[in-house]
Amino acid sequence: MIRFTDVEKRYDNGVDALRGISMSIEDGEFVFLVGHSGSGKSTIIKTLTGEVLPTAGRVMVNGFSLNKISERQIPLMRRTIGVIFQDFRLIETKNVYENLSFAMRAVGASPKAIKQRIPYVLDLVGLAGRSRRFPHELSGGEQQRVAIARALVNNPTTIVADEPTGNLDPARSYEIMQLLERINRLGTTVLVVTHELDLVKRFHKRIIVLERGRIVSDGKERPIRPVHRWE
Amino acid sequence: MSKGHNFSYFIHEGVSNMFTHGFMSFAAVGVTVACLLIMGTFTLVAYNINEQLHRLEQDNQILAFVDDSLNDLEARALIDDIEGIPNVRSVEFISREQALDAYISQYEESERDIFDGMEASVLRHRFAVHVTEISLLGETAASIDAVDGIARVKAYEDVASGFVAMRNVASVVCIALIAILFLISIFIISNTIRLTTFDRRDEIAIMKMVGATNGFIRWPFVYEGFLLGLLGSLIGFLLQWALYEFVARGVSASDTMQLIQMVPFSQIWHYVAAIFGLSGIVIGVFGSLTAIRKFLRV
Ligand SMILES: Nc1ncnc2c1ncn2[C@@H]1O[C@H](COP(=O)(O)OP(=O)(O)OP(=O)(O)O)[C@@H](O)[C@H]1O
Ligand SMILES: [Mg+2]
């Protein structure tokens, strides 16, 4: 479960990126986080991965209170979250299989566990048979699937995606969203940040709308604001 | 994080990092070798001077000659006075007869007949005095000279004070150099490893993202530093050995330096190896730790 209570973030340069965010996401939920550029979406993601410290307010992530968390516990907290980015962030010198085994080894998985887990995850994201390919030998959509597989490989309870479809064409974007929805149905909490309201409207999910560091709408209804406000 | 499969991973990563930056690794090892060599050379010079001083201390540094007016018994009784002087480690009475015998025995047997009929009375009774601290030799000699019944004192002060001065200079230079060179070596190794961490910043970011502990992220780099340091100390040791043998041979072949007796390398190689190994490893590990410190914050 993720819970923000009156969270504020002011960056060192004086920018107020978050101005009192309160929200909670239950286990197993699928949530879209939308808002125009600079509204604070990435700051929320970075706050819940512990990359950015809030200036005020309380943050709970999967049982860890990020206000009180010790440096030693941060890695344990991060293992409960799988993160996906717009630019995939795969290691170019490693093939698909090695990219995944690298992520597993980093948290101390045994070779046996690695061998068992990777084919399952690759199959789940529809990349069975691509394991020896290098990132540059894959399409953008396939690369993002590898990134999703990497986020899933350590079996996190939550997946957080910051504009996962930003670099993909509409058809590929829709497929990626479908994949995330399927992963959600298998029991993983999913939080997706996106610009693409057209895409969001095709899924009947909870939508949190952010505007200049504040939540202006939260619910399953369509957001009241016109689409062009976010483009 | 002590699992076997992790350890082999760290070794593999550490070794391959080292080869990826061939030139920088070469430079880092070279600097470590140079630093260890300079450090080692000064230390060995200081050590040899010190050994030389100990040897001098064991020789008779002070000979105190007894006034001829004293009879045998009176002369021998002076030993108590001399033993009471500070810094005197041991006193040995040498009678005229013993002194004569010792004197004659310096010569080849065939030449000894020239001393036939030589009276022991031409020599004086004497005390051979050993001191504890050679740098106070002058003061001690003066105190012995002041004892009633001692006619004359002979101390090998010039030689001794020369060595003491050398030892003091060598120790100061040694400590200063060791400190400076240690820092330089750590700095260079640290920069080499910083290159690797820069190369691997994407991988480090991913490791942190998926929840690797700082310890896990750190190990391959520490291992790389460890290997660089160890390699440096190994090469440094071999060169130091060669240098030492070369100097030792030069010293024993030279006429003017016959006085100096160098400790054979075979007697001290294990100390040298241990110190070189330890220094190399400390330099390497410290270097890598400073290089990755800033990468591991949040
Ligand atoms: N590291 C930083 N230092 C200073 N200011 C920052 C930093 N990161 C973000 N900001 C500022 O904080 C505000 C929110 O940024 P954030 O990245 O959260 O927006 P976003 O909603 O993700 O935007 P986008 O849709 O363009 O990705 C912006 O005004 C941005 O300029
Ligand atoms: Mg953003």
Q: Is the CB of A108 less than 8 angstroms away from the CB of B209?
A: no
Return per-residue pLDDT of chain B as tens, 298 residues: 445 667 777 777 777 777 777 777 788 888 889 888 888 888 888 788 778 777 766 665 688 888 888 888 888 888 888 888 888 888 888 888 888 888 787 777 777 777 777 777 778 888 888 888 877 888 888 888 888 888 888 877 666 667 777 777 777 877 887 788 888 888 888 888 888 788 888 889 999 999 999 989 988 888 888 988 999 999 999 999 999 999 988 888 877 666 677 888 998 999 999 999 999 999 889 888 888 887 776 5
Query: Mind listing the domains of chain B with CATH numbers?
Result: 3-56+161-296 (no CATH), 61-155 (3.30.70.3040)
Q: Which among A79, A107, A110 has the least Cβ separation from residue B5?
A: A110
Q: Phi/psi at A5 (nearest 5 deg)?
A: -125, 110
Q: Which of B56, B42, B36, B259 is nearest to B170 (CA)?
A: B42
Which of B151, B177, B130, B162 lies closest to B52, judged by CA? B162
In this structure, the residue with its CA closest to atom 16 of ligand 1 is A40
Q: Give dist(CA A44, CA A3) in Å, integer.
A: 11
Q: A108: number of CA atoms within 13 Å, CB side?
A: 14
Q: If you average pLDDT over residues A153-158, what whole number do you get?
A: 97
Residue A231's pLDDT band, with cuts at 50, 70 and 90, is very low
Ligand that comes closest to the CA of residue A41: 1
Mean pLDDT of chain A: 93
CB contact at 8 A, A92 and A134: yes
Q: What percent of chain A has pLDDT over 90?
A: 90
Distance CA B208, CA A102 (A): 12
* C-beta atoms of B210 and A79 within 8 A: yes
Contact B212 A106 (CB under 8 A): yes
Residue A49: pLDDT above 70?
A: yes
- Residue A39's pLDDT band (cuts 50, 70, 90): very high
Q: What angle do CA B114, B119, B122 make, to 5 degrees?
A: 105
> Rounded distance, CA B89 to CA B283, Å?
42
- Has residue A225 got a pLDDT over 60? no
pTM recorded for the entire structure: 0.73
Q: Yes or no: say if A183 and A173 are a contact pair by the CB < 8 Å rule.
A: no
Identity of the residue in B5, B206, B213 whose CB atom sits nearest the CB atom of A75 = B213
Strand (E) or helix (H) holding B62: strand B62-66
| Cβ partners under 8 Å of residue B258, min gap 6 | B252
Please count the helices (runs of H) and the strands (runs of E) in chain B: 9, 4
**Cβ B144 vs Cβ B81: under 8 Å:** no
Nearest atom in ligand 1 to A40's CA:
18
Say if CB B66 and CB B145 are below 8 A apart. Answer: no
- Report d(CA A5, CA A25) in Å as an integer: 12
